[in-house]
Structure 1
Amino acid sequence: MKYVVTTDKDVDTVCREMETVVPEHQFGIVAVHDLQETMQKKGVEFDQAVKVFEICNPKKAKAVLEKDMDLAMALPCRMAVYEDAGQTKISMMAPAAMLKMLNPDPELEAVALEVESTFKAMMDQLK
Structure 2
Amino acid sequence: MAFSIDLDRPLDEVEPVLRARLADEGFGVLTEIDVQATLRAKLGVEVPRKRILGACNPRLAHAALSAEPDIAVLLPCNVVLSQLPEDRTRVQFLDAGAAMEVVGNPDLGPIGREASERMHRVAGRLREEIR
TM-score, structure 2 normalization: 0.88
Q: Secondary structure at the match of 1:42?
A: helix
CA RMSD of aligned residues (A): 1.4
CA distance in 1, matches of 2:28, 2:59: 11
Does the Cα contact within 8 Å between 2:68 and 2:105 map onto a contact in 1? no
Deviation, 1:19, is: 2.8
The residue that corresponds to 1:122 in the other structure is 122
TM superposition outliers: structure 1 runs of 4+ over 6 Å: none
Partner of 1:113: 113
Structure 1 residue ranges without an equivalent (≥5): none
Identity %: 21
The one-letter code of the counterpart of 1:90 is V
Determine the structure 2 residue equivalent to 1:72. Answer: 72
Amino acid of the structure 1 residue aligned with 2:101: K
- Which residue is 2:103 aligned to? 102
CA distance in 2, matches of 1:25, 1:96: 16
Letter matched to residue 31 of structure 2: A
Q: CA deviation at 1:66?
A: 0.6
How many residues align? The count is 126
| Structure 2 spans left out of the alignment, 5+ residues | none
- Give TM-score scaled by structure 1 length: 0.91
**Aligned pairs (5 A) from 1:77-96:** 77-86=77-86, 87-96=88-97
